[in-house]
Structure 1
Amino acid sequence: MAIHSYVVRYDSGFAPNPFYGFCSLATCKPDIRKHAKIGDWILGSGSGNVAVNRGGYMVFAMCVTEAMSFDQYDADLRFEGKKPFRLGSRKQSCGDNIYFRESAASPWGQRDSFHSDADGTLHREHVEIDTAVNRVLISGDFVYFGGSGPKIPEALRDADGRNLVCTGIGRSKFDDFELVQDFVAWIRSLDVTGYQGPPFEWLSLRKRTTQKFP
């Protein structure tokens, strides 16, 4: 069992997508999607940039309970709600079930989504990056706080003193047995599971749209 830690630069509800009873990582983070195993944990912490100022706070934590291809994800009725509807609610608009094709030899199609061009057409660079690793990570054992998560304890460090919180681009992997056990114990001590609050970008938008102007 290992922990894959990274900074969620854009907490919009798209990557990860914590809705409809499952937390899914279907786009971005190809290194994590390629290497994370069933039973591993993925920890996403907030961005430390001045506009967000959530460095060191938990956005989500998910234990990988399933892994599947984009074709399987597209066909699985459990994840039909994760197919984006850009003119719908915020939750519907940020669906991450965006890739499909007619056969294994066919080119990838891309639903109108956060990774499409502004006019809804296919964004080739995102397609290339996302589908380079044909693997979607699913969790039925997760907690997602979005923009209101707790501070990750400083004491959660491995035997070499490395802090569990990733601070740069990419991921940090931890397989120190005691650290993993302590991390899981801390997650369980929060005594909550599933979706707990809206993504940071939703909260930020709410603040902007309710601001009073002279």
Structure 2
Amino acid sequence: MFNLNKNMNPTFYTYKVAYDHGTAPNLDQYYCSLAICKPVIRRTAKVGDLIVGFDTRENSNRIVYIMIVDEVISWHDYIIRCETDPLLKNKIPCYENDYNGDCIWKVESFGISHQPLKSRSGHGINCYHTDVEKGKNVLLGKKFMYFGNGENIDLRIPEKFHRIIPNRGHKSKANIPYLEPFIEFINKELELRGLQEFKFYGNPKLPLEPKNWE
């Protein structure tokens, strides 16, 4: 279940996951990472914050994933961690349609290279500013649930919470009064569905090739 540390004054971020290819957010059995989208959230989020990504258009009340931020690290440190930490090494893409990699930038002698690794993210040289310079950080969470395309678990919020769904960008300040009621709602829903483990429960909405995520 999701429990927030009130002493950390958590921020409640919500946004729409426009392109759910499996790279943003990026999931494995250890971490949920947010590295190559939502630069403002990545730049401002802190440990203990709650992030919820919603589907788009007519399904905008459906939750794609939930994450509590455990670590906020710079892009430079994230690259080094992915190269040295066995739990993060799969975050480096190995080929163009690699389902794992969101660590698409490289550290060179002069800093972070402007030439990304090939990946299924579709991010190229023109994304360097948004990914690295504007976003600055990568968010890591061990407490997450990812529902992806919703085929396995279709988790939707009731109308009383619809104000937390943004039209564009993200919401945070307007979400303050909804934080505790939302956590209570989510935990009750998870209990009813028998969901206790922090892990991914579904496949990306827009896969580029077949993959078994179990």
Q: 2:117 aligns with which of 94, 99, 111?
A: 111
Task: Using the aligned pairs only, state the percent identity.
Answer: 28
Q: CA deviation at 1:81?
A: 0.7
Which amino acid in the other structure matches residue 113 of structure 2?
A: P
Superposition TM-score, scaled by structure 1 size? 0.78
Question: 2: distance between equivalents of 1:80 and 1:8?
Answer: 25
Query: Which residue number corresponds to residue 164 of structure 1?
Result: 164
Maintained 8 Å contact 2:12/2:176: no
Q: 2:88 aligns with which of 75, 79, 103?
A: 79
Q: 2:25 aligns with which of 16, 19, 26?
A: 16
Maintained 8 Å contact 1:86/1:112: yes
Superposition TM-score, scaled by structure 2 size? 0.78
CA 59–186 in structure 1, closer or farther in 2 if over 3 Å, else same = same
Residues 129-140 of structure 1: matches in 2 within 5 Å?
A: 129-132=130-133, 133-140=135-142
Query: Which residue number corresponds to residue 179 of structure 2?
Result: 180
- Deviation by residue 1:137-165 (Cα, 9 ceiling, x = unmatched): 010111100011311122236xxxxx122
Which amino acid in the other structure matches residue 134 of structure 1?
A: K
Q: 1:95 aligns with which of 97, 101, 117?
A: 101
Query: Which residue number corresponds to residue 128 of structure 1?
Result: 129
Maintained 8 Å contact 1:9/1:47: yes
Which amino acid in the other structure matches residue 129 of structure 1?
A: T
CA-based RMSD: 2.3
- Deviation by residue 1:171-199 (Cα, 9 ceiling, x = unmatched): 01146555211222223221433211101
Query: Which residue number corresponds to residue 2 of structure 1?
Result: 11
Query: Which residue number corresponds to residue 209 of structure 1?
Result: none
- Deviation by residue 1:35-70 (Cα, 9 ceiling, x = unmatched): 11111111100011xxxx422100001011101112
Which amino acid in the other structure matches residue 125 of structure 1?
A: N
Query: Unpaired runs of 5+ in structure 1?
Result: 118-122, 158-162, 207-214
Partner-residue secondary structure (3-state), 1:68: strand
Which amino acid in the other structure matches residue 182 of structure 1?
A: P
Question: 1: distance between equivalents of 2:209 and 2:94?
Answer: 19
Partner-residue secondary structure (3-state), 1:6: strand
Question: 2: distance between equivalents of 1:172 and 1:130?
Answer: 20
CA 129–156 in structure 1, closer or farther in 2 if over 3 Å, else same = same
Which amino acid in the other structure matches residue 59 of structure 2?
A: R
Question: 1: distance between equivalents of 2:36 and 2:175?
Answer: 27
Maintained 8 Å contact 1:101/1:108: no
Which amino acid in the other structure matches residue 181 of structure 1?
A: E
Partner-residue secondary structure (3-state), 1:128: helix
Is 1:154 the counterpart of 2:163? The answer is no
Partner-residue secondary structure (3-state), 2:15: strand
Partner-residue secondary structure (3-state), 1:199: coil
Question: 2: distance between equivalents of 1:144 and 1:124?
Answer: 29
Is 1:194 the counterpart of 2:190? The answer is no
Question: 2: distance between equivalents of 1:56 and 1:73?
Answer: 32
Greater mean deviation of Cα atoms: 15-24 or 106-115: 106-115
Q: CA deviation at 1:116?
A: 4.9
Query: Which residue number corresponds to residue 7 of structure 2?
Result: none
Question: 2: distance between equivalents of 1:94 and 1:13?
Answer: 8
